[in-house]
């Protein structure tokens, strides 16, 4: 059964059974028609999606999803890079149920707090690197990065350096889809639809070796040159005007781009030299993805702020947070009001679920297993399977995250002229083979739940191989 080919006629809602919040038993056609009639999806061309019909996911367990047609699908993306503990963990459902009965909501604004947010903050202080002992909560990664901007500006105000306003980020970085998140991100197609942007944000180039290195530079030389763009940009703007640099330790949505080992130490050196805050957006990299608890630990640098979301709750409930290095926290704490907050900052149910989730990650040694066992197995299996593959130019990644570069000529790093289309072809073969693998342009991405076992890794890699072989065949390459 293919998903993308079936055309579903537009059906007026009136001819369908009454909408029912509990309904789980409609036919696929009914679901699709109601979805088309009432639901605008994120980042989608709704006209063509409604004509083709959405895939309806109805349940999940472990690393598997089931759709409304009864197909069992292996989830190579952990939802949207977030279901770190896998699907169906009753401990998380129980934590939410208990908390909803005990205290479903109370705010943390007016001199109040509550046990779940207290416990969560204390546990985060244990799990994050030593200088991180304070956390501010929100509902998503985007709000986390909005919060980062607020903290950065407040920090410099406390230092009497209000002129430090500019935040530098990177082209093809992703930091969310609020106005601030979208401006911080470097996705041109998002900027084009955003006539209103946040002021004082500028971009430098990304450390994408395969796609952007020219001449005979080694990956290390190229990464160093890209990091040095930060210094050039600071000198252009004036260090007195630059507040912070923000980057994902590895770019997730941008294609699982892992910079060479020279990149982050140089970025850190430059930030320290010019007195600029360094922000690590850990929304994807955090909570074990690389085999370290946080991706900045994998790359060996020490940020001043970290943005957290996704794996914080394994996606079971929305929550984001910002972790503040002691030197930033001290300034914020000692200088009066910080005028920022959301109704649901530190929501008790979200905090209870986050707490239960982090205990699973810690007590079941899930992160350690990614580092020493399943991560290395996954990376080796991918590299062995695709060694000398005619359309695989590069495999990036560590732990349980990987990017597979599709290329017209892997040896000369020649990319397909229509790379995005090739990625879509490959993604559709994956769909038809019941594997979720994400395409970003001409890179295929994997980021499975961290509880995946070796048999399931074998299944993902063999399904990915079939899809990539089929793509090569369709292109007439073998």
28 vs 142 by CB, closer to ligand PXG: 142
**CB-nearer residue toward ligand PXG: 285 or 410:** 285
Nearer to ligand PXG by Cβ, of 118 and 187: the residue is 187
Closer of 87 and 377 to ligand PXG (Cβ): 87
Instruction: Give least dist CB 227 to ligand PXG, A.
Output: 19
C-beta nearest to ligand PXG: residue = 141
Comparison of 286 and 410: residue with beta carbon closer to ligand PXG: 286
Report the interface residues with ligand PXG, using CB under 6 A: 80, 140-142, 145, 174-176, 181, 248, 252-253, 281, 283-284, 309, 438
Give 303 or 410: the residue with its C-beta nearer to ligand PXG. 303
In the complex, the smallest distance separating the C-beta of residue 111 from ligand PXG, rounded to whole angstroms, is: 29
CB of 246 to ligand PXG, least distance (A): 9
Residue 291 or 320 with smaller CB distance to ligand PXG: 320
Q: How far apart are CB 421 and ligand PXG at their closest, in Å?
A: 18
* Shortest Å distance, C-beta 95 to ligand PXG: 20
Query: Least CB distance from residue 142 to ligand PXG, whole Å?
Result: 3
Nearest distance in Å: CB 161, ligand PXG? 26
3-state SS record for the chain: CCCCCCCCCCCCHHHCCCCCCCCCCCCHHHHHHHHHHHCCCCCCCHHHHHHHCCCCEEEEEECEEEECCCCEEEECCHHHHCCCCCECCHHHHHHHHHHHHHCCCCCCCCCCCCHHHHHHHHHHHHHCCCCEEEEEEECCHHHHHHHHHHHHHHHHHHCCCCCCCEEEEECCCCCCCCHHHHHHCCCHHHHHCCCCCCCCEEEECCCCHHHHCCCCCCHHHHHHHHHHHHHHHHHHHCHHHEEEEEECCCECCCCCECCCCCHHHHHHHHHHHCCCEEEEECCCCCCCCCCCCCHHHHHCCCCCEEEECHHHCCCCCCCEEEEEEHHHHHHHHHCCCCCCCCCCCCCHHHHHHHHHHHHHHHHCCHHHHHHHHHHHHHHHHHHHHHCCCCCEEEEEEECCEEEEEECCEHHHCECCCCHHHHHHHHHHHHHHCCEECEEECCEEEECCCCCCCHHHHHHHHHHHHHHHHHHHHHCCCC
């Amino acid at each position: 059964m293919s998903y993308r080919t079936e055309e579903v006629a537009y059906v007026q809602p009136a001819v369908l059974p009454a909408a029912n919040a509990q309904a789980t038993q409609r036919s696929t056609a009914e679901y699709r028609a109601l979805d088309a009639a009432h639901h605008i999806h994120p980042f989608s061309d709704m006209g063509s999606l409604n004509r083709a019909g959405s895939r309806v996911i109805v349940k999940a367990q472990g690393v598997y999803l089931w759709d409304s047609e009864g197909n069992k699908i292996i989830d190579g993306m952990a939802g949207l890079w977030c279901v770190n503990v896998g699907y169906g963990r009753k401990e998380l459902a129980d934590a939410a149920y208990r908390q909803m009965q005990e205290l479903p909501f109370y705010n943390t604004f007016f001199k109040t707090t509550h046990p779940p947010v207290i416990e969560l903050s204390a546990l985060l202080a244990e799990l994050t690197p030593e200088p991180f002992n304070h956390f501010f909560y929100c509902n998503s990664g985007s709000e986390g990065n909005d919060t980062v901007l607020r903290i950065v500006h407040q920090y410099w105000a406390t230092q009497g350096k209000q002129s430090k306003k500019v935040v530098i980020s990177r082209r093809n970085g992703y930091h969310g889809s609020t106005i601030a998140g979208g401006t911080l991100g470097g996705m041109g197609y998002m900027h084009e639809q955003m006539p209103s942007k946040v002021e004082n944000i500028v971009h430098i180039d990304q450390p994408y070796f395969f796609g952007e290195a020219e001449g005979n530079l080694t990956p290390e030389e190229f990464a160093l040159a890209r990091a040095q763009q930060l210094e050039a940009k600071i000198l252009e703007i004036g260090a007195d005007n630059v507040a912070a640099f923000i980057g994902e330790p590895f770019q997730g949505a941008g294609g699982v781009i892992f910079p060479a080992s020279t990149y982050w130490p140089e970025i850190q050196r430059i930030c320290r030299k010019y007195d600029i805050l360094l922000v690590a957006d850990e929304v994807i990299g955090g909570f074990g993805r690389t085999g370290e608890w946080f991706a900045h630990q994998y790359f060996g640098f020490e940020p001043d702020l970290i943005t957290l979301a996704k794996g914080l709750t394994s996606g079971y409930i929305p929550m984001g947070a910002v972790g503040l290095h002691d030197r930033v926290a001290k300034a914020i704490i000692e200088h009066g009001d910080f005028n920022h907050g959301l109704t649901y900052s530190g929501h008790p149910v979200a905090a209870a679920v986050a707490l239960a989730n982090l205990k699973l990650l810690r007590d079941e040694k899930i992160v350690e297993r990614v580092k020493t066992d399943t991560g290395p197995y996954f990376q080796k299996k991918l590299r062995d399977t695709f060694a000398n593959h005619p359309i695989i130019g590069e495999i990036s990644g560590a732990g349980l995250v990987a990017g597979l570069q599709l290329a017209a000529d892997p040896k000369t790093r020649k990319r397909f002229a229509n790379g995005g289309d090739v990625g879509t072809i490959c993604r559709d073969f994956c769909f038809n083979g019941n594997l979720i693998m994400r395409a970003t342009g001409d890179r295929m991405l994997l980021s499975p739940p961290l509880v995946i076992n070796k048999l399931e890794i074998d299944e993902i890699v063999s399904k990915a191989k079939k899809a990539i072989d089929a793509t090569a065949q369709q292109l007439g390459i073998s």
